[in-house]
């Protein structure tokens, strides 16, 4: 996982000094009149010659005084969440088809025309890609042409084209397939069937950055946390989670669902520790889950801890998602509190520590089997 520090922007206040020009001052002395009037004769009048001594011009003085950025408190436990804008340049998902990285732009809009669609199929599913000229893109999306983005915070790429992309996994709908046959022949997706399932307008990138998330370089870089080994913090967080509680809402829910015994004895734990790129602070995420398919009792939660310098941890948040894999931990707004990208192989969702889901992406899945 990439680890890099977010770029910090300092605001500089520039005061422009003015150049002062001092100009020499002159005076004309006249004699006092005598008692006898002076004789007036005709002659050419000459203007007096005035010499004004000019001070040398000084270059403007630039008083560049750095202004400290507003103090940001990284050690408070008030979960602020994340305020996300509607601009896909701030955060958007990147997916890959046949070795080419595409950035999702819009899943509702359509191009006015497109090139010949091509079908790609592998073990992960099927996809159809049809190139789109910039002039055929919706007007609001055309400025993406040539835009630079950072994928995953470390892979710089540029938008070099557009496309309509459709992706599916599973079996095509309305197919004839005998799951109980000894030698079943799985049905195959056709080009038309894939395009009928979904179409996404996407930007084609010039670098092979793989899949993940991206942010336009016009935005400040986000800080990615790195996964670290910290067995002492893992043990401390698990002890806190499994400690008996007087008011145990999870035990009450477990019993109401028909669960027997203590919920702590029925769960599986997955614990990970991430180190923040800006603060070097370590965050511990403990996911506790017990699947409850087909009416069985279930438990699912993700408890978030902050580690202190003495090796202790303190609980700061409890989220409901105890099943989804933590794909990445990033700080998009630089407030010291990370956001999470969670999901599985075919889906991803951006979630903040307040438990709010902001945006997600998924491959259309057609699974016709029943797990019960």
Q: What is the DSSP string of 58-98?
A: PPPPEEEEEEPPPP---S----------S-TTTSEEEEEET
Is the distance from CB of 169 to CB of 194 less than 8 angstroms? no
Q: What are phi and psi of 118, to 5 degrees?
A: -125, 140
Q: What is the mean pLDDT of the chain?
A: 82
SS3 263: helix
pLDDT tens column, 105-146: 999 999 999 999 999 999 889 999 999 999 999 999 999 999
In angstroms, the first-to-last Cα distance of the chain is 37
* Separation between Cα atoms, residue 24 and residue 249, nearest integer Å: 88
- Alpha helices (runs of H) in the chain, residue ranges in sequence order: 191-197, 231-242, 249-256
Please indicate whether residue 35 or residue 79 has the higher confidence score (pLDDT): 79
* Separation between Cα atoms, residue 14 and residue 64, nearest integer Å: 5
pLDDT tens column, 314-365: 999 999 888 899 999 999 999 999 999 999 878 999 999 999 999 999 999 8
pLDDT value at 219 more than 70: yes
pLDDT tens column, 18-75: 333 333 333 334 444 444 444 434 444 444 444 444 444 443 433 333 333 334 445 5
Mean pLDDT of 275-296: 91
Structure-block tokens of residue 187: 């049905």
Taking the model in full, what pTM does it have? Answer: 0.75
What pLDDT, on a 0 to 100 scale, did the predictor assign at position 366?
A: 83
Number of neighbouring beta carbons within 10 Å of residue 16: 8
pLDDT band at 8 (very low <50, low <70, confident <90, very high): very low
């Amino acid at each position: 996982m990439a680890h890099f520090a977010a770029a910090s922007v300092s605001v500089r206040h520039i005061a422009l000094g003015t150049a002062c020009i001092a100009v020499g001052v002159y005076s004309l002395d006249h004699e006092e009149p005598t008692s006898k009037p002076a004789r007036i004769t005709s002659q050419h009048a000459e203007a007096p010659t005035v010499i004004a001594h000019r001070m040398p011009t000084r270059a403007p003085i630039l008083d560049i005084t750095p202004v400290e950025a507003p103090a940001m408190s990284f050690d408070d436990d008030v979960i602020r969440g994340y305020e996300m804008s509607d601009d896909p340049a701030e955060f958007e998902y990147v997916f890959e088809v046949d070795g080419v990285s595409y950035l999702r732009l819009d899943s509702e809009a359509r191009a006015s025309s497109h090139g010949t669609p091509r079908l790609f199929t592998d073990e992960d599913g099927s996809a159809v890609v049809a190139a789109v000229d910039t002039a055929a893109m919706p007007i609001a999306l055309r400025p993406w042409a040539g835009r630079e983005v950072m994928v995953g915070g470390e892979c710089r790429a540029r938008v070099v084209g557009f496309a309509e992309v459709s992706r599916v996994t599973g079996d095509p709908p309305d197919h004839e397939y005998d799951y109980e046959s000894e030698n079943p022949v799985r049905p195959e997706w056709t080009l038309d069937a894939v395009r009928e399932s979904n179409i996404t307008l996407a930007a084609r990138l010039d670098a092979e950055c793989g899949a993940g998330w991206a942010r336009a370089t016009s935005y400040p870089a986000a800080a990615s946390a790195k996964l670290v080994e910290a067995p002492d913090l893992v043990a401390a967080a698990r002890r806190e989670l499994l400690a008996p509680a007087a008011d145990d809402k999870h035990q009450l829910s477990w019993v109401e669902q028909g669960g027997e015994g203590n919920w702590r004895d029925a769960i599986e734990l997955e614990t990970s520790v991430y180190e923040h790129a800006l603060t070097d602070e370590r965050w511990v995420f403990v996911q506790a889950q017990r699947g409850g398919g087909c009416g069985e009792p279930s438990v699912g939660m993700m408890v978030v801890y902050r580690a202190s310098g003495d090796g202790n941890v303190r609980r700061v948040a409890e989220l409901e998602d105890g099943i989804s894999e933590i794909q990445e931990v990033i700080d998009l707004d630089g407030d010291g509190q990370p956001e999470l990208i969670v999901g599985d192989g075919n889906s991803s969702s951006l979630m903040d520590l307040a438990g709010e889901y902001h945006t997600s992406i998924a491959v259309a899945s057609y699974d016709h089997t029943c797990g019960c």
